[in-house]
Amino acid sequence: MTIEEFKQKTLPEKLNAIRYEAELLGSYERNGEHNGPKTPGDIFALYDFWVFLSDDETMVIPSRRNPLHVDEE
């Protein structure tokens, strides 16, 4: 599955893909828009992209970069 195909799925389909096909990488707090409060959730690896899933399972945000990755110098 590509990130574009994932974006076209319904919320229940996205949750099923995360539940059965993704690997949990860890907890993450996503920055809010316009300096709003952070949203707690988890980051999952799914195929060749990553997905943020909020704790209340209402926010599913795919990304081409791993937000947990820290560049080492």
**CA of 39: how far to CAs of 16, 21, 42, 63, 71, in Å?**
21, 23, 10, 16, 23
| H or E element in which residue 3 lies | helix 3-8
Q: Where are the domains of the chain?
A: 3-63
Percent of the chain at pLDDT > 90 equals 75
User: For residue range 51-70, what is the model confidence (pLDDT) as tens digits?
Assistant: 999 999 999 999 998 888 76
List, edge to edge, every strand of the sheet that includes 60-63. 23-30, 39-46, 49-54, 60-63
The DSSP call for residue 35 is G
The structure's pTM equals 0.86
